Structure 1
Amino acid sequence: MLEYLKDDFISPLIFKNSVEGILVTSSDGLIVQANPSCLKTFGYSFDELIGQPVEKLLPGNLSTVHLQHRKNYVKNPQFRKMASGLELIGLNKVGNEVPLEISLSYVHSKVGLLVICFIVDISNSKKLERELKKERKMIQQYLEVTSSIFLILNKDETIAVANKAAGDLLGVSENELKGMNWFDEFIPESERENVRSLFHEMIDSKTGISLTNENLIINAQGEQRLIEWHNTVLKDRLGMPDATLSSGVDITEKRALEKTRKEALVMGQENERRRIAQELHDGLGQSISAINLNLNALEPELEGFTERFKGIYSNLKSKLNETIEEVRSISRNLTPRILEDFGLGRALEYLCDTIDKSTQVKLNLSLHGDLLNIDQKIALGLYRIIQELVNNALHHANPKNINVHVTRDKSEIIVLVEDDGGGFDPNMKFFGLGLSNMQSRVEVLNGQVEVDSNDKSGTTISITIPI
């Protein structure tokens, strides 16, 4: 065998240090060379392999088949991978099978044709592949049984992956969903632009932002559902945003229940206001009126009393009249009868005029459109919202001016309340009780709130209520 070993058909340095196993066989299949990586893969020493048939490194059931393949290769040698697309198995010294990738080459040497085998042990990659398959199967099983919606959207807005829950909700099979434009097919036109903008904001961000949002979707049956989404960006091998992964939960019933609860809370507040107003009128109001009548009955008898007594009487009478007016004012604020009798516009004029006269703050009211023919529920809700916002500004902002604008058009009523007092952080999670009540009332009326506030320019709160 020495003549094979002396042949310099391959660089000794490359041969010795290659991370790939290199095995050289003669045309009759005998092993004539093996580098350290090859010896390590199969667990043999150099002397144990040299001169042995190459089939020694194969499981017994493959030896016969390989023998025929080897003979065919010698007749027509070429550069190629062995069994392309198939899994190759070797056998190490202790009898364990080893998954391999093998490429073949050849050289015509002084002693004849030599076949060069480049061998890669892929045991670790196969193990990783099995683990990935197992994880993928578990993920697939989870996606099939979970009630959460999972979507992967490509950069071109098409659906790449959708789980069973998504298909069930949308009324389209998982396979049919693939390739459909998510925004054109399943986002209502009223929300399409905003939702599409959020998607491209994520995709175009190199930092790969994640966000949570809520939006309506429309299924194949035309039914709209409210979904809470948790979105994250998927990146390609270069680390660039390539798609989005979104998990969603249908919160339609949850939000409806919350709205019902808030409606009940608002209704409870109004009922309690009416009860207190009625008690003020029937109880305290009647008692004060009785006292006033008794005082009036004393007036003819005052001639016989001293001037000091007359002064005390006059002061008592004045204080009693102030108390009567205060009770009436509280009662009117609790149940604004003027709203029921003359509409929202007149009720707001009275409210603002009363506040303007009783404080040092200049309160300006601007009304536009028909505010008389409004559903009573909406009118009362708007009255309470504006009342709450004005009182909140008076108590917390210390403003010099408050401007209230109310505008009605064909489809909505827009309320704008501005003050020039001290602002607050609109990103705070928890507002005071006043603003919390206001937000609840807006949600009950299916409206939207926008808050702009800072220390320098005061606060502007915009409210839009559909009608």
Structure 2
Amino acid sequence: MLKFTKSPVSAIASVILFGALLVLLLWVNVFQQLNKEKETALNKAKQLNANQALALESYTIRTIQNADLILQIVRSEYQKQNTFNNFQQLKQNSTIDQKLLEGVVIMNKEGNLISSFHPFHPDTVTNFSTREYFQTHTTATSDSLFISKPITSRLFSKAVIVLSRKITDSKNNFAGVIALQIFPETFTSFSDGAFVDSFDIISLIAPDGTTYARKTGATASYGENIIKSPLFQHLKNKPVDNYYANDAIRNIPTYFSYRKLKNYPIIATVGKREVDVLRDYQKQKNKSLIFTSVITLLVILFSFAIITGIQNRRRFFNALAESEGKYRSMFENSKDAILLTDHEGNILTLNSAAEKVFDIDQDSCTSKNIGQFLANAQDHFYQQAGYTGEVKFIRRSGTEFTGEVVSSQYKADRNHRVSVIVIRDATERKQLEEELAKERNQREQLILQQVILTQEMEREQIGGELHDNVCQILATTKHYLELIERKQEFSQTFLPQARQMINDSIQEIRHLSHAMNPASLDSKTITDALKELTATIKATGELEVVFNAYHCIEQLDVQKKRALFRIAQEQLNNVLKHAQATTVHVSIALKENNIHLNISDNGKGFDPLQQKAGLGLNNMQARVKAFAGKIHVTTSPGQGCHIEAVIPYLEKRA
């Protein structure tokens, strides 16, 4: 310091140079960090846009495929019957999007309306031959899905996007068009709740620049032409990418992500305004600039203080005293208990937080040893050079608590060491750990409840097996015995069969206890099993049973074989009990790698809308669903009942 005072100019110059270099390095580092944060924000926005564009693509394709599925289902039914008005039945199909079903319209080859889900207003023009999609299908040589630009619907009197396919007759000639109308907002509803800023953009665009659907914030639109957008230049190079440009409609700088949909002439785009993308970055930038400015100011002030100290040693000592006061303030204002002890554990001083923790005061603490507050008197952690762990303490009031302890030592002079001990009361943490343990026990109880629920479901499955097979055999046996009771001459014919059926019931229960798999089906084909079943029913004389097997189905998985057998068994017994039928037709066939089991009777039928499905029908539905199959029930009062069960057929490989 004396040297500096003799040459203050060189000392001041050194301080100024050092401060300038420090500020320069500080600002260079800040700008480098800001550039990294900006790049991170942009990459995050691009990734978010790309993910949302991918989700929009998936949602759009799924919506189009659901609509196309409806078109093909309705068209198939129409081509079979040359008419279709059974929309209510379609509404019961869980695989169909009911909202999309409401826009179905069927036209004949002249373009005249034949059928629609919603009736048209009497004053509405119902000829659609001038529509672009109709004219496209009249000249098309192949069956393809046509997606129109937004047009005004005559049915809904608002803009719709029309998806259509052509209808052909038995000779593959043009016979009309089936169309499905979708509101543009159906596609943009994907963004509901996903976008938070009023200028976030989601849109579906045709290759010619026309927007199928667009949504900016909460404002929906359609039909704009944005062919001048840079999107189409980028699209020539990559089908999936990101780019930055002004929005083609609002001319706002925006970051876009786009994806060209596979198999469809649609481009999905998601955009986020630059201001919104960099909002958090700008906040962080302002904070960093303010913080750096403050630090710069502090460096300048510090340099000024050093310069002043060189000129005035008294100011330097004042600053040193002030610094010492700050450290003392930190000691006093700490929320953790801080004690200073000698090597023997005698308390030299402590802060106010320690007074509260141990329920002592500053005047009495200096005559005490920290060992007086230890639950274990043999615990001499304060004598270690460094200690971290938990220690049990006793307050002056006698209550115990667990403290998290960190201690270290420093030399007060050559012969004495002082330990600095920091103690934090861990009572609240312990309580939290107990609460977490209780929560873990509750979760274990929940898992146990789920196991019990699974066991109950298995019991229901066994009950279903008993109902589907054993009950059916016993019901037929009861029927035989009633015949014998009415006419004794039938005893020679049906009594042995009834006895055999009782034996079969015993065997079925035994088999159910092993693997719930009827051994009687293991050695038979499904055709032979159904033939024996129908012969058994026919032998009663009360019902004429006609069985036809159109294909030889041999290598069939035993589970599928059992499912088909149970369905036939269940339905035939239903016919005997309830249908009052005289004839039933049973057939099994293999079509397009699917097994079709059909059972039709000429009984009294029933109204499916008025009569709820019983246990038998529910079991049949459960069996086909287990193999990703379907079951169709067609019936009405006085028209009998027809059941078709369809399950996939996969041959076993050698």
Q: Give TM-score scaled by structure 2 length.
A: 0.29
What is the TM-score when the length of structure 1 is the normalising length? 0.39
